[in-house]
Amino acid sequence: MDTHLIDGKNIAAQLRSEIAAEVGRLSIKPGLAVILVGENPASQVYVGNKIKACEKAGIQSVSHHLPADTPAADLYALIRALNADPAVHGILLQLPLPEHLDPNDFILAIDPEKDVDGLHPLNAGRLMAGLPGMVPCTPQGALRLIKSVRNDLSGLDAVVIGRSLLFGKPMGQLLLSENCTVTQAHSRTRKLPDLSRRADILVAAVGRSEMVEGSWIKPGAIVIDVGINRGEDGKLRGDIDFAQAQGIAGAITPVPGGVGPMTIACLLLNTLRACQKFADHGGQNAGRP
């Protein structure tokens, strides 16, 4: 069987150009505020990439880089100011935070209407309730990649390996809302290879290099690799053994160039939607709960 390569880079580029066109038609410019606390080198690269992507799409981005020893009160004050700023439609708090700052406290402080990462419990609850809200960027992007292969997912068996708030749980909810029969696997799951082999859609978000072997994959399955693992040779690898999956999977995302580019594109989309909602409410936020 020929395995179709799902070209996340290309699909993300197309989405970004559609977003740029929509931004151009708006009467106000969408604004994204990015908060980075400390000097985590990977976070600095991610933030830089997000800011560049905003510029290209015509979204105004403002970066707030705070020192690693920033007191909690200062971070709260910044978030409150950004919540109140009508030029800011999206707020992204880059994680992880330094140890003395509990991310849950600050995610709760972000106005849910500006929570472009979709991590606020209100947005997680909206997703679970099937209500419109901010959907986390990576699972949103992963679903778009799955639907680029097959639009109707109704009745398919989906296995999501991983249950994080950032990815695994919202991915499971999104697939459930597409009428898949979803199994959410995690570190305590028994017989994971057998379980995975039943999946028409197999999504791996663990963070363990090439953990999913070819023999775990059902012939013809759509395989989405979310993992990003840097090997000792400096190369990036996913959670799926990509070479072994060839000829078994029906379609697969590469690492890099699969899910990663979709995350940024969906961040831009969430910012655009937040701005549109703001404009639709006559420049007033829909209101905090």
Interaction between residue 216 and ligand NAP (CB under 6 A) = no
Is 164 a binder of ligand NAP (CB under 6 A)? yes
Nearest-approach distance from CB 159 to ligand NAP, in angstroms = 10
Tell me how far, at minimum, the Cβ of 177 lies from ligand NAP, in Å. 19
User: Residue 115 is which amino acid?
Assistant: D
Q: How far is the CB of 271 from ligand NAP (least distance, A)?
A: 16
Pick the closer one to ligand NAP by CB: 93 or 206.
Answer: 206
- Phi/psi class of residue 123: alpha, beta or left (left: φ > 0; alpha: ψ in -120 to 50)? alpha
Q: From the CB of 148, what's the least distance to ligand NAP, in Å?
A: 16
Distance CA 91, CA 88 (A): 7
Measured distance CA(19)–CA(269) in Å, rounded: 6
65 sits near ligand NAP (criterion: CB under 6 A): no
User: What gap in Å lies between CA 268 and CA 26, rounded to an integer?
Assistant: 14
Which listed range, 12-20, 69-77, 152-160, 201-209, lies at the site for ligand NAP (CB under 6 A)? 201-209
Residue 55 CA to residue 20 CA, distance in Å, equals: 10
Which of residues 206, 245, 265, 268 is near ligand NAP by CB under 6 A? 206
The residue range among 25-33, 120-128, 193-201, 220-228 that interacts with ligand NAP, by the rule CB under 6 A, is 220-228
Residue number, 40 or 164, with CB nearest to ligand NAP: 164
Nearest alpha carbon to residue 266 among 149, 144, 147? 144
Q: State the nearest-atom distance from the C-beta of 154 to ligand NAP, in Å.
A: 26
Give the sheet arrangement for strand 31-37, strand by strand: 60-66, 31-37, 90-93
Residues 134, 32: Cα–Cα separation, whole Å? 14
Distance between the two ends of the chain, CA-based, in angstroms?
52
Q: Is 58 in the site for ligand NAP (CB under 6 A)?
A: no
* Stretch of 78-86, 110-118, 155-163, 194-202 lying at the interface with ligand NAP (CB under 6 A): 155-163
Nearer to ligand NAP, 175 or 226 (CB): 226
Instruction: Pick one of 83, 138, 196, 253: the residue that binds ligand NAP (CB under 6 A).
Output: 138
Q: Within 13 Å, how many C-alpha atoms sit on residue 86's CB side?
A: 8
Match 């699972």 to its residue by tokens.
Answer: 139
Q: Which residues belong to the active site?
A: 50, 94, 117
C-alpha angle 194-199-202 in degrees, rounded to nearest 5: 105
Cα(146)–Cα(141) distance, rounded to whole angstroms? 9
Name which of 205 and 249 has its Cβ closer to ligand NAP.
Answer: 205
Query: Where does this chain bind ligand NAP (CB under 6 A)?
Result: 138, 161-164, 166-168, 185-189, 192, 205-208, 226-229, 259-260, 263
